Amino acid sequence: MEVGKVLNLEIKDSRNGNLQQYYCKLIEKNNDYLVIDYPIHTKTKRTSFFPIGTKISVSFIGDDQAVYQFQSKIATRIKLNIPALAINIPEQEDIKRIQRREYVRIESAIDVAIHSTDDLFPPFVTLTSDISGGGLAIISEKGIQMKIESKVDLWLPLQMQNSEFHYIYSQAEVVYIKNLNSRVDLVSLKFISISKQDRQNIIKFCFEKQRESRQKELL
């Protein structure tokens, strides 16, 4: 876990017991503590303050693009160039891998621009049906001549919980076409050329959406 890594936190609200979502950045580490900047609430975007001893659930995306999670608590406050918190560093065996490399797929409607690399059809903009770190599915009108194994360039914006936008580019291959009705098909695309950072941002987006869905189920 390198310095600069974004950490996602779940902390129980002391007033109603509901889990609240925050994010922060790892700014220092030593043998005993991970030092983080003050957590920011993912929805209100406000910096939050917690008493020493507050229990937290921490998750992050590893170098292998899997999601890892561990339990910790706030140990002390630290004065650096910015206000900071020290949280207890977990034992290696206490860090759990909670997402396999095969990528979790989530349903999400995101604008996506599609260009045929072989000029089989004019460029068009549509919506995704689902997305994962390995690919996505899009809605395609019947008149667009997409074929199995044909290649496309695609661009899509991802809005994260902290309101940041990441603009994803990938070359992809058509792997499956399913007839939905007389007007549209569902076309599944596999990423074949995508940067590590773009793939990691997609995985983070899916993880956030999955966590948001679980949170709603608890309400």
Predicted local distance difference test score (pLDDT) of residue 3: 85
Distance of alpha carbon 108 from alpha carbon 131, whole angstroms = 7
Banded pLDDT at 171 (limits 50, 70, 90): very high
CATH number of 106-218: 2.40.10.220
Predicted local distance difference test score (pLDDT) of residue 10: 87
**Residue spans in the chain of domains classed CATH 2.40.10.220:** 106-218
152: tokens are 């496309």
Predicted local distance difference test score (pLDDT) of residue 92: 84
Q: Which of 134, 136, 8, 22 is nearest to 62 (CA)?
A: 8
**Residue spans in the chain of domains classed CATH 2.30.110.10:** 6-97
Q: Give the residue-averaged pLDDT of 92-98.
A: 83
Write out pLDDT tens, residues 14-33.
777 677 888 888 998 888 89
CB atoms under 10 Å from CB of 131, counted, come to 28
Write out pLDDT tens, residues 191-214.
999 998 999 899 889 888 887 776
* Topology, domain 6-97: Pnp Oxidase; Chain A (2.30.110)
